[in-house]
Amino acid sequence: MNLTLRIWRQAGPEDKGRMVTYQVEEISPDMSFLEMLDVLNERLTLAGEEPVAFDHDCREGICGMCGMMINGNAHGPQRGTTACQLHMRQFTDGDTIDIEPWRARAFPVVKDLVVNRNAFDRIIAGGGFVTAPTGSAPEAHAAPVAKADADAAFESAACIGCGACVAACPNGSGMLFTAAKVTQLSLLPQGQPERYTRVIGMVDSHDDAGFGGCTNAGECTVVCPKGIPLHTIGRLNRDYLAATAKHTPRS
């Protein structure tokens, strides 16, 4: 395939960015989207030009590093798929593809398609962990967990922290990510001792990081590559209401 790429180029956080047009030829439909960008970067490097900066690591849809907007869609046109697992067969010969970084106040652009997602780390630092000492690993069935709770916790734990939910949200909210990280612990016995201080700390960290508020637009769940459902935010809200009634926020 021969394609026209319009890519956001920005030299640094304080620099003004712009869309730059590139032509790529003889792209195999079996290539992944990132492999197509690798081909472009190889050609740019051979021509003495600056390659396009983009985040990537595992290229297996696990790490969440490869987030980018592709034709206005977080991770591209195929639902339930990260950009690294998106294949060029989703496009046709002659297409023009717009490629941009995540757009959110909490995710400032570092360079080109790379954004700083440290705000997610600050949310986790607000309470996304278990500090209660548990000693050695217990026998697997020592603490029975209802299957519905185990399934829901696993569903939330599938979140890879890619940031697509934030990029797609009209408010730039990170509430789906926060809800997933809260509920994966609140549904299990190990998470109970800190259940209410956790939700307060993580929601406060979310707001302090500059994310917008959730208005249940639902765009987050549409683009989530792991299919985290919208009712996960409902679980967080229930815990938060109970927490504010029972506990004092952390200082």
Measure the CA–CA gap between 69 and 74, rounded to whole angstroms: 5
User: What's the pTM?
Assistant: 0.93
**What would the pLDDT profile of 110-159 be if each residue is shown by its tens digit?**
999 999 999 999 999 999 998 877 677 777 778 889 999 999 999 999 99
Q: Is the separation of the CB atoms in 166 and 74 below 8 Å?
A: no
- Write down the domain spans for the chain: 3-100, 117-247
Beta strand pairing status for 109-111 and 18-24? unpaired
Contacts of 101 (CB under 8 A, 6+ apart): 8, 10, 68, 69, 107, 109, 112, 113, 114, 115
**Residue range 42-50: mean pLDDT, rounded:** 97
User: From 3.10.20.30, 3.40.50.1470, 3.90.105.10, 3.40.190.10, which CATH number describes the 3-100 domain?
Assistant: 3.10.20.30
**Residue range 235-243: mean pLDDT, rounded:** 96
Count how many residues are written for the chain: 251
**What would the pLDDT profile of 161-217 be if each residue is shown by its tens digit?**
999 999 999 999 999 999 999 999 999 998 999 999 999 999 999 999 999 999 999
Q: Provide the 10 A C-beta neighbour count for residue 20.
A: 12
86 by Cβ neighbours in 10 Å (0-12 / 13-18 / 19+) ranks as: buried
pLDDT value for 247: 63
Measure the CA–CA gap between 143 and 148, rounded to whole angstroms: 15
Among 46-50, 52-56, 146-150, 243-247, which stretch is predicted with the lowest mean pLDDT? 243-247
- Architecture of the CATH domain 117-247: Orthogonal Bundle (1.10)
DSSP H helices in the chain: 33-46, 118-125, 147-157, 164-168, 175-186, 195-208, 219-223, 231-246
